[in-house]
Amino acid sequence: MSDAPAPDERLSYRLITGADNREFCERISAALADGYVLHGSPAATFNGTTVIVAQAIVLPAAIASADAAVATAVDQLDAEFEGEFDGEGHA
């Protein structure tokens, strides 16, 4: 049994890397057309011959899901420690 996602299942996060050329830009453009959004700034390095770039992309639903999970965790911590702190980190 494989843990790999089904071929039609899109990953929430991808890091696309490659030479800084038209093909790389086409890959990013295709991902954007497929519903991904850029996540952070691109990174670039030089391997002695070619500039290599990387761009993280995410699905908007993944961001919303992560934000909701953080908000839920904060709410749970607030409820657990209600009244135990003075709002400035002091007990």
| DSSP notation for the chain | ---SPPTTPPPSEEEEEEESSHHHHHHHHHHHHTT-EEEEEEEEEE-SSSEEEEEEEE-HHHHHHHHHHHHHHHHHHHHHTTTTS-SSS--
CA atoms of 19 and 44, how far apart (whole Å): 9
* Phi and psi angles of residue 79, each rounded to the nearest 5 degrees, phi first: -65, -40
Residue 75, pLDDT score = 78
pLDDT tens-digit map of 9-60:
889 999 999 999 999 999 999 999 999 999 999 999 999 999 999 999 999 9
Residue 84, pLDDT score = 65
Closest CA to 37 of 57, 15, 52: 57
Residue 4, pLDDT score = 54
CA atoms of 72 and 64, how far apart (whole Å): 12
Residue 87, pLDDT score = 64
pLDDT confidence of 68, banded at 50, 70, 90? confident
Q: What is the pTM of this model?
A: 0.65
Residue 89, pLDDT score = 64
